Chain A
């Protein structure tokens, strides 16, 4: 028995409800509170699709490619805090899901993926549309199951949701052979489902909190370095972060994944840190004497050169995943706990200490001198739209609405992170860890399905958008009025930038040749197309995009050779940022070999 189900009163257990495997799947989804799911049918999941037919508890969004279903489920999950659900068939359906499953694992997104499988007696025979789904997804999912007995199906479904949403969230795959979907078995509810070998540590140890609070009340140059864990922990963690910051007055920076947990309008907000982060955030990280890392994992995009990373600081690391601690950077005080619980305990402990804390004025003054460099300044133009200007205007014209932003991957993603500002968690969906081009549009579809009244914008590049372009058709079919704002510079901009920086301006295969006419493409797919190439027309056309009731493709023609700055080049430290122009001599031999 891997899992025990609590005994129920005799009256209830007397006659378990018998149903087919397919019905068990749908009933379990319903009981788990799933109201929207994303999928694509095929031979090995037809019984489940049959069980979905004619019911209205769960809305099924038909995508155009299975990868789209996965990213849509991710977008849904990130914008709601709930578990995303995708349903695909065996073989190619499952292999097309590998990218979103890996993406969700890297960014800790709760997702349950149900895959059909060939009937049990055909497994291992290289049957039509057979693949070893559990084998293929073993290393890219948090956990996976191959269901071989219909009596276990209901338990496995509930366990999958428990594993996906608890601890450090992640994707869980449930692979169900077709004969199991037809077989009849008992339905059990989600009550009492536990997994004795899997017990996340949510509550911090007291001695760890005491040690952390002691360091925090004695620090002269402290900084909060927060990450996606604060968002994943739920809205309470963001509230507690704000409360603890108010109590201490410490400056706050965040990873790409953590944007929105702390309000960007706050005077102590330093902006994002890392490779394309702000000058003030990176220098403060380098010179701090105490770093409080909350739900972040010292990713290489964040740390830069590891042996020169924040050399003078003591480090506190709060993470629910013990393996994240001391993985890359050695820390002084490890705190294994849920972010909200740890932050709450720190607030209580610091208040109880009643200690007079050091005066942070010299540290704030130092940060202000870094701020004064105004690292995101760019040379604007009256003739050509600068990409930074485009995002700035988009922000100015949408910030007062309930707006959700998704992105693809590349320069536009970094400009979005730099120039679009977030006040609340769950408003920013981007592929951080895996860096999946094509994430943004299907994610926007998922976000819009969860928030029908909100304004959902995918800030995209002309190269990324072509990877999952077909999902605009999904948006049209399901009346999801997503807006795709393409910063079209006719280059794979980040690749071009790296080739300029590292490869002597030899632009190998990074020019976006034979681009489609995005306005006509939008029309062909049933949406609305807008093109803009003049700065003075930008505002009016952005408003036209917002006011259009359906999906829009906005082809924003921007400066072609603009570089995304500031930048910490590979192999450099936080205090070695490129601020002005790229000269091509910034990166040494060792850095050239890094990604």
Chain B
């Protein structure tokens, strides 16, 4: 009984052999999943209900139809959990009848994640100038302005957005709206 079985299920969506998983591994990881679904009524509720019903976390969620001819929607979910829970989340998502595919963006070498934020900052004088200067560094666009305020549009990785918001706080931050993470893979291949 010493013969170790070969690693299994590495391809496709099959579960990985737990033989090589560390059983002591209880570290919480953050993961971005792209879920491709048939855009039929209730599909978002199914996905979200799975997370609440089984006690999983959703840190952010974005959804929109991406292929109207095939009625395909893309849901990007940022979640966290132990390796074991994350494996369950993927498997449970694939059980949902209108879910076509689940892509692990975080563990893909070619995954790209982007988020967009609208940030309202109010102030005058030196603080107003400083806000504009920082916005330039972050390549944020001014999309609305009054004599006492700006609205910046800034895109990038979530950490960059958080950093931008933190810098704006002492300069008169009023309100933030973020889209949640979007994801896609580099290269010519789909998915």
Contact = CB atoms under 8 A, between A and B. Distances in A.
A218 B1 contact: yes
A214 B3 contact: yes
Contacts of B91: 322-323, 325, 327
B46 A138 contact: yes
A510 B15 CA distance: 44
B9 A323 contact: no
A153 B40 CA distance: 15
A205 B9 contact: yes
Interface stretch (B17-25, B120-128, B138-146, B159-167): B17-25
A490 to B, nearest CB: 38
B137 interface: no
Contacts of B38: 2, 197
A212 B16 CA distance: 15
Contacts of A205: 8-9, 14
Contact of A334 (B9, B23, B49, B88): B9
A214 B5 contact: yes
Contacts of A198: 97-98
Given A1-B70, A138-B49, A323-B95, A211 B6 contact: yes
Nearest to A167: B95
B13 A322 contact: yes
Interface residues on A, range: 35 or more
A207 B7 CA distance: 9
A447 B15 CA distance: 37
A393 B45 CA distance: 51
B95 A334 contact: no
Nearest to B46: A138
Given A146-B41, A215-B5, A333-B5, A323 B17 contact: no
Given A2-B38, A333-B17, A211 B8 contact: yes
A330 B97 contact: no
Nearest to A168: B95
Given A197-B100, A332-B18, A334-B8, A2 B13 contact: no
A195 to B, nearest CB: 7
B87 A208 contact: no
Counting chain A CB atoms within 10 Å of each CB, the highest count among B13, B21, B42, B45 belongs to B42
A322 B15 contact: yes
A330 B99 contact: no
Interface in A110-152: 134-135, 138-139, 142-144, 146, 148
A197 B15 CA distance: 18
B105 interface: no
A139 B87 contact: no
A195 B97 contact: yes
Interface in A299-357: 314, 321-323, 325-327, 330-334, 336
B84 A2 contact: no
Contacts of B99: 197
Nearest to A172: B97
A321 B95 contact: yes
Interface in A193-214: 195-198, 201, 205, 207-208, 211-212, 214
Interface in B39-60: 40-42, 45-46, 49, 53
A315 to B, nearest CB: 9
Nearest to B36: A197
A385 interface: no
B45 A135 contact: yes
A289 interface: yes
A289 B1 CA distance: 8
B95 A326 contact: no
A326 B5 contact: no
Contacts of A314: 1
Given A197-B97, A323-B91, A323-B92, A334 B14 contact: yes
Given A143-B97, A163-B97, A336 B71 contact: no
A573 B86 CA distance: 27
B50 to A, nearest CB: 8
Given A139-B49, A208-B8, A325-B15, A1 B92 contact: no
Contacts of B9: 205, 208, 334, 336
Contacts of A336: 9, 14-15
Contacts of B95: 321-323
A290 interface: yes
B42 A138 contact: yes
29 contacts: A1-B70, A2-B40, A134-B42, A135-B45, A139-B53, A142-B97, A143-B97, A146-B41, A163-B97, A196-B100, A197-B38, A197-B98, A197-B100, A207-B8, A208-B8, A211-B5, A212-B5, A218-B3, A314-B1, A322-B95, A323-B88, A323-B92, A327-B88, A330-B23, A332-B5, A332-B17, A334-B8, A334-B16, A336-B14
Q: Top 8 nearest A-B pairs by Cβ distance?
A: A323-B91, A211-B5, A330-B18, A197-B100, A143-B97, A332-B19, A325-B15, A198-B97
Interface of B: 1, 3, 5-6, 8-9, 13-19, 21, 23, 37-38, 40-42, 45-46, 49, 53, 70-71, 84, 87-88, 91-92, 94-95, 97-100
Interface of A: 1-2, 134-135, 138-139, 142-144, 146, 148, 163, 195-198, 201, 205, 207-208, 211-212, 214-215, 218-220, 289-290, 314, 321-323, 325-327, 330-334, 336
Given A138-B46, A197-B98, 10 more contacts: A2-B71, A146-B41, A197-B100, A211-B6, A212-B5, A326-B18, A327-B88, A332-B5, A332-B19, A334-B16
